[in-house]
Amino acid sequence: MSLRIENLAVDLGEFKLQDISLTLEDGDFFALMGPTGAGKSVLLEALVGLVPQSAGEIYIDERKISHLPPEERGIGIVYQDYALFPHLSVLDNIRYGLKFQSREKSGLKSNAERMQVVDDLIPLLGLGHLLDRYPTTLSGGEQQRVALARALVVKPDILLLDEPLSALDPNFRQELRTHLKNLHQASGATFMMVTHDFSEALSLAQHAAIMAQGKLEQTGTIEDIFRRPTTAVVADFVGMKNLFKVEFSATKACCEEVEFKVGRQPESGSGYIAIRPEDLILSKTPLISSLQNSFAGRVAAIRSHGFFYEIDLTVKTLTFTAVITNHAFFDLEPAVDSNFFLSFKATAVHLI
């Protein structure tokens, strides 16, 4: 089902959420991203109804839920630490929510149907051999799967996931990503996931929003946010390392002594431009091509990141950061203080 948030505000004294408006389509997998302290978890708790809101409305389809207590909203939550009930076995944890579901609302008419949901979820999440165990004896990944099963058994309209993969051993993350993706498809529920990790969002979510300091900065498809950040905060968060304050004139942007061709007419007289580091091309000789921006520069620093290198290049008074593959690195053999050309398309320049 779809989730619609209209002008939601939460006031926790020292922390505020302001004017949050967001729509999740039915069956969406939505990623909520932002730096630590942005208010992502507060937003989740406000959606569940655990934090009182000071303004705004929340709708599931056309049903207004903002005035309802948590148990009547139909929104499930899976916490980062999974919050399994330590006094109950895995099976009792999974079945916990069933005893509170009123028959009309859950759409699960009979007890047999409810049990069927449990029986379907257990193999889907590979929990069959753990049913009699207690949560404290489980590994992180196992606990997470139990938490997911427990949340999905009651067929929530919306499932909120608070950094579902961050507490796991990196080796198991890929496996659990796959689990999450399958579950999302199998359950048909609308998922909203908080994450720090862009690759996680890219591999799982269709839409995303970036939050900072209690406000939504940008909402859209993952691709849009990654390629076309609309605010400086978003650009910084998604890794747009090359962010410059510029003055626009016609289709050009000037920052100090460097002049960029930006392809289209910007609206205001001054603003920011951002270029993704992987969109910068390094070469030993000037490239004669359709690349409209080409500058001579000097290598200021080289950082190895295993699969790629980050290279800082000084062009007049500006410093650019480019990302090149190991292969390109050995072709070019850049060294600190050596001279290179830096080229990029006008369309790779984002106006912010």
Partner 1 sequence: MRKESFLWLTLASSFVVLLFVTVPLLRMLTAPSLASLWETIRDPEVYRSIWLSLYTGISAAAICFVFGTPLAYLLARSEFRGKKLVEAIVDLPIVIPHPVVGIALLGLVGKNFWLGRIMHELGLQIVGSPAGIIMVMTFVGLPFYLQAAKEGFASVSPRLESVSRSLGASMFSTFIHVTFPLAWRSILSGIIMCCARAISEFGAVVIIAYHPMIAPVLMFERFQSFGLRYSQPVAVWLIVVCLLLFLSLRLVGSSSRKSESRGRA
Return residues touching partner 1 (CB under 8 A).
45, 48-50, 69-71, 73, 75-77, 79, 81, 83, 85-87, 96-97, 100-101, 134, 136-137, 150-151, 154, 156
The span from the CA of 279 to the CA of 258, in Å, is 18
Indicate the residue among 17 and 75 with the shorter CB distance to partner 1: 75
Torsion angle of C-alpha atoms 63, 66, 67, 70, degrees rounded to 10: 100
Indicate the residue among 85 and 330 with the shorter CB distance to partner 1: 85
Indicate the residue among 74 and 229 with the shorter CB distance to partner 1: 74
Q: Which two tokens mark 29? A: 């997998």
Least distance between partner 1 and beta carbon 84 (Å): 8
Indicate the residue among 69 and 269 with the shorter CB distance to partner 1: 69
Give the Cβ contact number of residue 129 at 10 Å. Answer: 10
Q: Which amino acid is at 189?
A: A
Least distance between partner 1 and beta carbon 101 (Å): 6
Indicate the residue among 70 and 263 with the shorter CB distance to partner 1: 70
Distances (CA, A) of 287 to 96, 318, 343, 348: 65, 20, 7, 16
Q: Return the SS3 of 220.
A: strand
Residues 6+ apart with CB under 8 A from 345: 263, 279, 290, 291, 292, 293
CB 194 within 8 A of CB 163: yes
Indicate the residue among 19 and 92 with the shorter CB distance to partner 1: 92
Least distance between partner 1 and beta carbon 135 (Å): 8
Least distance between partner 1 and beta carbon 99 (Å): 8
Indicate the residue among 76 and 229 with the shorter CB distance to partner 1: 76
Least distance between partner 1 and beta carbon 41 (Å): 11
Least distance between partner 1 and beta carbon 181 (Å): 22
Strand ranges inside 175-275, DSSP E: 190-195, 207-212, 215-221, 242-249, 252-255, 258-261, 270-275
Give the Cβ contact number of residue 268 at 10 Å. Answer: 8
Torsion angle of C-alpha atoms 34, 39, 43, 48, degrees rounded to 10: 120
Least distance between partner 1 and beta carbon 177 (Å): 23
Indicate the residue among 81 and 331 with the shorter CB distance to partner 1: 81
Q: Which two tokens mark 276? A: 């993704």
The span from the CA of 177 to the CA of 121, in Å, is 17
Least distance between partner 1 and beta carbon 247 (Å): 50
